[in-house]
């Protein structure tokens, strides 16, 4: 399959490498340039749209709007292209993208992912896919390469982004829960390591608890997923709740806590650094 990739940051690079290794022909465009073995780099994003499938992995709504919409690239895409947007974007912007793709005659598949760059490198992302069944079927061979599972989120692309935003919201709630639990246990003489051995072996053994408990134990928050990006996703969750007239109290707490983390100068550290505000104030 001929695949164009727009956005070759820490996640997009790993996706591109795996697609090349699987035998796909990959063309890439990146705002800051760069080189990836096996990927034909092009000077304009419209050239990445001249393929069977284009995968966009830009950072946010604004980046996608700037690269693809403000320059009116979609009508210049190769006929029959399926455009897969793997970025985490707002539900409102996803609805706008549905209409823009329909007007341009380009099939649109939402495919935000669960997983950090190390997971992407292994081709073990969880892909939350939504779109027309025929379009999903066409791109599934490529999505299978980058994932350990493609989860069917239905036919409406905005649904997939709502699910992704909800997942990230729940991870930050887990980080804050662990931090507050450490306050209770450590101040009463139980080490972090022993406490987390207990919870990982009993109640909470999922990957977020495994990954972020180690960061809290070591008080080490090297970036895997930056706090600044976590703050963006929590903002998207807050906006989505406001749009349907609902109040989510726990979301308000972790959104505020992540904002404090970024304000404290930790925006480039891992988003689990928010735990440090509670555990090591």
164 carries an active-site annotation: yes
Which residues share a beta bridge with 130?
110
DSSP class of 65: I
Residue for token pair 């600044």? 228
**Cα–Cα distance for residue pair 4/29, rounded to 1 Å:** 8
Instruction: Measure Cα distances from 37 to 16, 57, 168, 273 in Å.
Output: 9, 18, 32, 34
What is the Cα–Cα distance from 225 to 208, expressed in whole angstroms?
A: 12
Residues 6+ positions from 39 with CB-CB distance below 8 Å: 5, 8, 16, 17, 20, 26, 27, 28
Which of 148, 164, 226, 232 is an active site residue?
Answer: 164
Catalytic residues: 164
């Amino acid at each position: 399959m001929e695949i164009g990739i727009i956005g070759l940051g820490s996640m997009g690079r790993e996706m591109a490498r795996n697609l090349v290794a699987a035998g796909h022909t990959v063309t890439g465009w990146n705002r800051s340039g760069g080189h990836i073995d096996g990927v034909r780099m092009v000077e304009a994003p419209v050239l990445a749209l001249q393929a069977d499938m284009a995968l966009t992995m830009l950072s946010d709504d604004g980046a996608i709007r700037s690269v693809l919409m403000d320059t009116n690239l979609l009508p210049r895409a190769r006929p029959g292209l399926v455009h897969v947007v793997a970025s985490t974007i707002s539900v409102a912007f996803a609805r706008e993208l549905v209409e823009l793709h329909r007007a341009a005659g380009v099939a649109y598949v939402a495919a935000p992912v669960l997983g950090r760059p190390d997971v992407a490198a292994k081709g073990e992302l969880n892909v939350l896919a939504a779109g027309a069944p025929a379009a999903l079927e066409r791109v599934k061979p490529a999505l299978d390469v980058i994932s350990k599972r493609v989860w069917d989120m239905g036919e409406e692309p905005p649904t997939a982004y709502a699910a992704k935003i909800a997942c990230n919201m729940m991870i930050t709630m887990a980080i804050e829960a662990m931090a507050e639990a450490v306050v209770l246990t450590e101040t009463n003489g139980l080490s972090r390591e022993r406490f987390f051995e207990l919870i990982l072996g009993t109640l909470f053994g999922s990957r977020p608890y495994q990954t972020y408990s180690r960061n809290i134990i070591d008080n080490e928050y090297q970036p895997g997923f930056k706090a600044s990006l976590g703050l963006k996703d929590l903002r998207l969750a807050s906006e989505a709740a406001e749009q349907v007239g609902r109040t989510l109290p726990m979301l308000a707490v972790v959104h505020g806590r992540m904002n404090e983390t970024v304000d404290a100068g930790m925006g480039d550290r891992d988003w689990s650094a928010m735990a440090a505000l509670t555990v090591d104030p």
